[in-house]
């Protein structure tokens, strides 16, 4: 009986699903809306296709969207568990925690999470253990690099604001790292706290005239409101540093951080391994491998900033 149980556990999830008369099913738990995550889900599905998984033919995907209502995450995660999906894919620490609380059996793969060990998502990066694994999206030096880039393009920068959703535990860790890096660079820091969309405009009003640049920490709330944040930042003429290109496409000054479409592509590789029989607890959590530095020259000109040629040569992309 022990041998038979072990054989069943090693039998690929895909084979078990097909034996049961249904396609292997991925439960996709998104924090905001399909349109906000469209670029990332497209990268994920494309990579699945390259690996031989075609939606509707060899695999099914059940999408659930929290629409920025964090209180819905537990309900949606439980719904995916009731559907008996074969693996849950998500991104962001609150989403992973919700999925982890809903099941200790169904494999969970995260596309991005800040400090997975510090936030108790996994036991260690090398040996996650349990049913959770995926890709980290933050390295300790990232915050410092963003601040260094800001100092390069904002002459005489002394006072800085860090805008962040403090209800996200991963963001709180990033704030601490950014504050420590700012102190090392001799920068004064103001940290307006936001927890919901209604907090964003008052935060900018409180910053007016107090700081010379803005560092924005990302999460679902912030990225969904990126156009609004850009408009408010331009209204008080604040140069902005963001973590990913989506913000710069919306008009932000510049970004430095992991390439999120690449993270979601790599997530598909994790899912492929799990559907073919690998145990999530045995698949190491990987660090980011691709970082992008992107700058919007139109925004720079509007703010009256002259970007050094040396900076432009290092940028991965210049938007004009």
- 5 — pLDDT class (breaks 50, 70, 90): very low
Q: Which residue has the tokens 């249904």?
A: 22
- Quick one: pLDDT at residue 170? 77
Mean pLDDT of 42-63: 97
The pLDDT tens digits of the residues spanning 184-241 come to 999 999 999 899 999 999 999 999 899 999 999 888 888 889 889 999 999 999 999 9
The pLDDT tens digits of the residues spanning 254-268 come to 999 989 899 999 999
Percent of the chain at pLDDT exceeding 70 = 92
- Residue 18 pLDDT more than 60? no
- Quick one: pLDDT at residue 139? 60
Go through the chain and tell me how many residues it has. 320
Q: Which two tokens stand for residue 296?
A: 């919007």
The pLDDT tens digits of the residues spanning 61-85 come to 999 999 988 899 999 999 999 999 9
Lowest mean pLDDT among 103-107, 173-177, 224-228: 173-177
DSSP conformation letters of the chain? -HHHHHHHHHS-HHHHHHHTTS--EEEEEESS-TTTTHHHHHHHHHHHHHTT--BTTTBEEEEEE-TT-GGGHHHHHHHHHHTT-SEEEE-SHHHHHHHHHH-SSS-EEEEEES-TTTTTS-S-SS---TTEEEEE---TTHHHHHHHHHHHHSTT--EEEEEEETTSHHHHHHHHHHHHHHHHTT-EEE--EESSGGGHHHHHHHHTTT-SEEEE---HHHHHTHHHHHHHHHHTT--EEESSHHHHHTT-SEEEEE-HHHHHHHHHHHHHHHHTT--GGGSPPBPP--EEEEEEHHHHHHTT----HHHHHH-SEEE-
- 121 — pLDDT class (breaks 50, 70, 90): very high
**In whole angstroms, what is the distance from residue 242 CA to residue 223 CA?**
10
Instruction: Residue 129: name the closest of 283, 287, 13, 288 by CA.
Output: 283
- Quick one: pLDDT at residue 187? 95
- 10 — pLDDT class (breaks 50, 70, 90): very low
Contact 240, 247 (CB under 8 A): yes
Contact 117, 125 (CB under 8 A): yes
- 15 — pLDDT class (breaks 50, 70, 90): low
**21: Cβ contacts below 8 Å, ≥ 6 apart:** none
Selected residue with higher pLDDT from 19 and 282: 282
Domains of the chain: 2-138+259-290 (3.40.50.2300), 142-258+292-319 (3.40.50.2300)
Mean pLDDT of 152-178: 89
Selected residue with higher pLDDT from 174 and 110: 110
Mean pLDDT of 13-33: 78
- Residue 17 pLDDT more than 60? no
Q: Which residue has the tokens 């990066």?
A: 125
Q: What is the mean pLDDT of the chain?
A: 90
- 22 — pLDDT class (breaks 50, 70, 90): confident
- Quick one: pLDDT at residue 261? 92
Percent of the chain at pLDDT exceeding 90 = 71
**In whole angstroms, what is the distance from residue 268 CA to residue 42 CA?**
11
- Residue 12 pLDDT more than 90? no
Q: Which residue has the tokens 């033919």?
A: 57
The pLDDT tens digits of the residues spanning 123-156 come to 999 999 999 999 998 665 688 899 999 999 998 9
Q: Which two tokens stand for residue 74?
A: 């537990």
């Amino acid at each position: 009986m022990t041998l038979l149980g072990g054989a069943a556990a090693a039998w690929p999830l895909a084979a078990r699903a097909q034996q049961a008369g249904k396609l292997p099913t991925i439960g996709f738990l998104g924090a905001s809306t399909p349109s906000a995550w469209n670029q990332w889900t497209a990268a994920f599905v494309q990579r699945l296709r390259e690996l031989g998984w075609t939606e509707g033919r060899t695999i099914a995907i059940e999408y659930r969207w929290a629409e920025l209502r964090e209180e819905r995450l537990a309900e949606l995660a439980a719904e995916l568990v009731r559907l008996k999906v074969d693996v849950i894919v998500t991104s962001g620490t609150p989403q992973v925690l919700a999925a982890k609380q809903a099941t200790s059996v169904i494999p969970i793969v995260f596309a991005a999470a800040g400090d997975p060990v510090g936030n108790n998502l996994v036991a260690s990066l090398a040996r996650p253990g349990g049913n959770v694994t995926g890709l980290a999206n933050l390295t300790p030096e990232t915050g410092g690099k963003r601040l260094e880039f800001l100092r390069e393009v904002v002459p005489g920068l002394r006072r800085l604001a860090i805008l962040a959703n403090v209800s996200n535990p991963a963001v709180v860790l990033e704030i601490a790292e950014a504050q420590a890096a700012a102190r090392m660079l001799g920068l004064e820091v103001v940290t307006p706290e936001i927890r919901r969309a209604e907090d964003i405009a008052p935060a900018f009003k409180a910053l007016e005239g107090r700081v010379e640049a803005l560092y924005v920490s990302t999460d679902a709330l912030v990225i969904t409101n990126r156009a609004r944040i850009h408009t408010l930042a331009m209204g008080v003429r604040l140069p902005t540093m963001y973590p990913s290109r989506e913000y710069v496409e919306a008009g932000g000054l510049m970004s430095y951080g992991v390439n999120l479409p690449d993270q979601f592509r790599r997530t598909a590789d994790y899912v492929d391994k799990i559907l073919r029989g690998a145990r999530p607890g045995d698949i190491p959590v990987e660090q980011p491998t691709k970082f992008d530095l992107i700058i919007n020259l139109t925004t720079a000109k509007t703010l009256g900033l002259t970007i050094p040629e040396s900076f432009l040569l290092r940028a991965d992309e210049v938007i004009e």
